Amino acid sequence: MTDTLRIRSYVQDQWVDGEGEGSRLYNPSTGEVVATASTTGVDMGAALEHARRVGGASLRALTFAERGAILKGLSKVVREHRDELLELARTNGGNTAGDGSFDIDGASGTLFFYSNIGRGLGDAKILADGDALPLGKETSLCGRHVWVPRRGAAVLINAFNFPAWGFAEKMACALMAGMPIVVKPATLTATVAHRLAELFVDSGLLPAGSWTFLAGPAGDLLDHLEAQDVLAFTGSAATGRKMRSHPRVLEKGVRVSVEADSLNAAVLGPDVDVASDTWNLFVKEVTREMTQKAGQKCTATRRIFVPAGQLAEARDALAQRLAKTTVGEPGAEGVRMGPLASAAQLEDVRSGVGDLATCGQIVFGAVERVERGDGGDADAGCFLGPVLLQCDHPREAPTVHNREVFGPVATLMPYDGTADDAAELVALGEGSLVSSVYSDDKDFVRDLILGIAPYNGRVYLGSADIASEAWGPGAVLPGLVHGGPGRAGGGEELGGLRGVHHYMQRTALEGSAELIGAVLP
Ligand code: NAP
């Protein structure tokens, strides 16, 4: 254990270590311990108070453009250390270079995107929301809405699957708004976030108190939240419920945003011919969504709806493409899919496939064994190949719509070829981050959007005319909102300036146009 990395927290503008060995972080390809982390004994109340008092003041003294300049600098720091971060994503997250870059380039890209927003907002420190509303008959009495930074700390708690992008997308919005941040990545894969914390601190770009980093469990952090704080959480629905119902959160009315489970759907339109461009896009993107990051993506496609008459062809095409997924150590030549993030994840996915199989049958892959394409030991590490199931009666199979199996697993199901039927089936997921529609039929797409948009934060339209440069549903773009209703948590992040507003207070000003003009030139 002597060479094992020790990751530490950054609290009250200094590095601190917790007591005892704490949690162990593993390499999921080998089972080897790569780091340890402890937050035991860290004074969470003092950490939050320092962030609010020192960090809040230093950030609010800056204009949006100045905050944007900080984000630009941090984006560059991430880019400059990309290779080193990819290596940590491999050893601690089981990420292939492609999977890791999705996370790390996503982080630098999002920070850069928001730096441009800051530049565009210029020297302001307050944002206007809409135009002035004239209220007087004889005077300049009017009303105007403004956004101002909240006076608390933004507590950013993230899931294991995106150790870089996960906090960067929240961080970009919070810092832009003028709120200090307390970053708490999932302990399991925290070495990437920890290295970023070191790099950010060393860069000298972050004002005093604006950056707090917790390496390890949250301890009693939430017990110290105050009314002006924001709690932004990404993770499982079960932990999300704990956040929302935490006594301190309820007592103080803390603003909470939750991004949780999601059983994202893909719908193939009835107009799509086998081997057409749209069909090929559907097959390519569904299989990519199943296997990228070994399916450990909140946006991964879990439910695939295909017109009943095309079920067999879709199944064969998906299976044929999934068969090309070489599983193995993520750094090995030719490997396209690494392991799951931990032994617990592997166990959970295996048991989840068992649950799904009660509603249908496995039509590709297996959970009992894995074919490793890198020559490694099939019993070592947390490896699992992709698994495709088929469920012929989706309305009689609630498990398919409510059990998120967080791995390379999806279920293929028939629908009757109408937009109404597809919409009803998508809605059984009770709220998703993103669903995709593959069709070139404008009437079908319009009807389906009306049916499924209320159940999705984003609807991705895959069609022949954009096939050559489509991003796919899995890519979360900073200019578009991310989040979904119901089971997906009900939160909303990003979406350009919309994401910044979550860390600000909207206040209506009512008074003379001259006075309001002095506040908001
Ligand atoms: P998780 O077990 O719920 O943990 C998420 C985070 O919550 C971790 O940082 C964890 O810290 C922390 N946490 C757990 N209990 C806590 C408590 N009592 N107080 C404060 N913090 C606490 O989720 P996960 O296994 O890391 O992530 C997988 C899940 O995330 C999946 O369900 C996936 O769908 C979801 N996800 C959603 C999105 C989205 O945008 N909607 C994105 C990514 C992932 P420790 O690690 O220290 O326990």
The answer to whether domain 264-478 has CATH 3.40.30.10 is: no
Is 298 labeled as catalytic in the residue annotation?
Answer: yes
Domain extents in the chain: 5-261+493-519, 264-478
Is 80 labeled as catalytic in the residue annotation?
Answer: no
Dihedral sign of CA atoms 277, 283, 284, 289 in order: positive
**Catalytic hit among 142, 173, 285, 298:** 298
The answer to whether 66 touches 122, Cβ cutoff 8 Å, is no
The answer to whether 345 touches 382, Cβ cutoff 8 Å, is yes
User: Nearest 5°: phi and psi at 23?
Assistant: -90, 150
The interaxial angle of helices 165-177 and 97-121, nearest 10 deg, is 10
- Specify the pairing of strand 9-11 against strand 14-16: antiparallel
**Catalytic hit among 142, 173, 259, 493:** 259
Residue nearest to ligand 1 atom 38, measured at CA: 298
Determine the distance separating the centroid of ligand 1 and the alpha carbon of 240, expressed in angstroms: 8
| Cα dihedral: 482, 487, 489, 495 (round 10) | 10
The Cα 107–Cα 460 span in angstroms is 22
Determine the distance separating the centroid of ligand 1 and the alpha carbon of 404, expressed in angstroms: 14
Looking at residue 207, the DSSP 8-state letter turns out to be P
Distance of CA 25 to the CA centre of its chain: 21
Q: Is the model's pTM score more than 0.85?
A: yes
> How many residues are given for the chain?
521
**Per-residue pLDDT in tens (0 to 9) along the chain, 521 residues:** 447 899 999 999 999 999 999 999 999 999 999 999 999 999 999 999 999 999 999 999 999 999 999 999 999 999 999 999 999 999 999 999 999 999 999 999 999 999 999 999 999 999 999 999 999 999 999 999 999 999 999 999 999 999 999 999 999 999 999 999 999 999 999 999 999 999 999 999 999 999 999 999 999 999 999 999 999 999 999 999 999 999 999 999 999 999 998 999 999 999 999 999 999 999 999 999 999 999 999 999 999 999 999 999 999 999 999 999 999 999 999 999 999 999 999 999 999 999 999 999 999 999 988 889 998 988 889 999 999 999 999 999 999 999 999 999 999 999 999 999 999 999 999 999 999 999 999 999 999 999 999 999 999 999 999 999 988 999 999 999 999 999 999 999 999 999 999 999 999 999 999 999 998 86
Determine the distance separating the centroid of ligand 1 and the alpha carbon of 391, expressed in angstroms: 29
- Ligand 1 pocket, CB under 6 A: 157-162, 184, 186-188, 217-218, 222, 234-236, 239, 242, 259-262, 298, 404, 406, 433, 488-489
Probe ligand 1: pick from 220, 239, 433, max atoms within 8 Å of CB? 239
Probe ligand 1: pick from 165, 169, 236, 243, max atoms within 8 Å of CB? 236
Per 3-state DSSP, the chain is made up of helix, strand and coil in percentages (nearest 5) of 40, 20, 35
* Closest listed residue to residue 95, CA positions, set 183, 192, 221: 192
5-261+493-519 has which CATH code?
3.40.605.10
The Cα 443–Cα 441 span in angstroms is 6
